[in-house]
Homo-oligomer: A and B are copies of this chain.
Amino acid sequence: MLEGLILDSGSNLPLYRQVSDGIARLIQAGTLQSGERLPATRELAASLNLNRTTISAAYALLEEQRLIRGHVGRGSFVALPQANVPGSRVDWENILPRLDISSSSPQSAAISFSTSSPAGDAFPMEQFRRLAKEVIDSPEAREILQLGSPLGYGPLRRYLLTKAREEKIAGPQDDLIVTNGCQQALDLLARVLASHGETVIVEDPVYHGLLRVFERAGAAVVPAPVRTDGVDPEELEALIAKHRPRAVVLTPSFQNPTGASIPGSNRGRILETVQRNGVVLIENDIYGELRYAGESAPPIKRLDESGNVILLRSYSKVSFPGLRVGWVIAPRPVIARLAELKQVSDLHSDQLSQAVLLRFAESGELSLHMERTRATGALRLDAALNACRRFLPPAATFTRPQGGMNLWVELPPPLNARDLLSRAQEHGVDFLPGNYFSVEGGHSRCLRLSFGGLSPDDIDRGIRSLGRAAARELELSRETTFDPAPALV
């Protein structure tokens, strides 16, 4: 049955992925023909000596990839040929692989806790206008409009690297590349480091766009639970010992979605663990400058002298998200490979925005803006925490971030975040439910509240509405009666 399907117990790829990849290869090679019936999950499981759920997961993935089609009661069949059908229109739905991305439609809620980004009404528009015009009038404008380097706009790159060396987050062996925000940095890193099924440990829950990047690149993603203090060094060590990953991706400060931070003492232990195991640590530090309370902890990159740590930063969260400028600081060979791939991907990042943000930083306006952002952020965080205390059901728990833009709520059973969302939306409030951030499909009682773009008043009113909606859901759950089911014998 399915000869040619060979599994390898020593591989880092999960078994269901090995099964689905193997079947995909048989389909592509023509060994399995279009229209052919696949073995029932039960049969294939028995013949491969695997659990039936492993086979089901593999079939589900193949179906998602449009390589097979399931028909209820009849089984699964190899889908229409991947090769195109002569004489017909292109069957786009059939040939395009589907990405598993939840639609993030624009929010029309009156109070939306859905977006982890700064409020537009706080943008320093007057400063932006003045400095952007300076750039446009400058003699450098002509160069800015000409083709640039995959590494980034020279003057910005020099500025960022000099500053990073002063901050001791770039050593003499390090270099820097400018990317289209942190998202592209993650995409390039995933494609360079983990595109052959390498294992990558990510936080769970985790920013959806980070998870998808590594999954899509072909990495085997392993979740590390985020505790009150972020990822626990001992748990991480055990996961590394078990899975021998290529890389670990952490957001040590004000993690998205939990808002949790790894304390300074644990940062050193985590660094020591990755160094001892020769693992790459990708440190996503895009919220690091948004601390409103408590003691600051250094980026792990600052502690690293062995060259294991790759640091990601961005102007998106601290200035203008619409100008796509982030950067990566890493050992030279890493930056060289990222630059090669960046050139293939989109030649280079837009230079006008790079030049405007450089002026914004050099003029000192960025620092002033960050101070203001931290002051308003502190008020917003306070408002959010107070409202959670006052309005959420007593049995709900929530994180207590000291910065950033997000906090994480866990509802008491039997509530679930998707149902609560439907009810909240009726009252003009929305948020992203926890399973959106889950590595393996959990966190259904959790939700992320992004408070960074809302006024304290809106935060208060919004969470009050949520609390009311949750209370109503709890009441309803108590009213529900069940017909007792007969015992199964």
Contact = CB atoms under 8 A, between A and B. Distances in A.
Contacts of A10: 29-30
Contacts of A261: none
Given A90-B280, A104-B343, A183-B347, 11 more contacts: A92-B307, A95-B246, A97-B195, A120-B145, A128-B136, A145-B320, A146-B321, A147-B321, A179-B346, A180-B347, A323-B351
A91 to B, nearest CB: 8
Nearest to A321: B147
A51 interface: no
B120 A142 contact: yes
Nearest to A184: B346
A345 interface: yes
A180 B141 contact: no
Given A246-B84, A280-B90, A352 B353 contact: yes
Interface stretch (A209-217, A367-375, A419-427, A468-476): A209-217
Interface in A243-300: 244, 246, 275-280
Contacts of A99: 337, 340-341, 344
6 contacts: A89-B307, A99-B341, A120-B145, A181-B347, A183-B344, A352-B352
Contacts of A483: none
A362 to B, nearest CB: 18
Contacts of A87: 276-278
A334 interface: yes
The oligomer's copy count stands at 2
Interface string A95-113: 1111101001010000000
Contacts of A351: 322-323
Contacts of A181: 346-347
Contacts of A216: 341, 344
Given A89-B307, A97-B192, A84 B279 contact: yes
A93 interface: yes
A302 B212 CA distance: 36
A187 B90 contact: no
B333 A93 contact: yes
A142 B122 CA distance: 10
A128 B278 CA distance: 50
Given A11-B28, A84-B277, A343 B187 contact: no
Contact of A196 (B6, B8, B24, B146): B24
A343 B212 CA distance: 10
A163 interface: no
A249 B132 CA distance: 39
A444 interface: no
Nearest to A139: B125
Contacts of A187: 344-346
Contacts of A324: 346-350
Contact of A278 (B88, B93, B123, B149): B88
A83 interface: yes
B356 A352 contact: yes
Nearest to A335: B92
B184 A345 contact: yes
A94 to B, nearest CB: 10
A308 interface: yes
A204 interface: no
A53 B290 CA distance: 58
Contacts of A197: 28
A474 B30 CA distance: 53
A115 interface: yes
A470 B391 CA distance: 83
B334 A350 contact: no
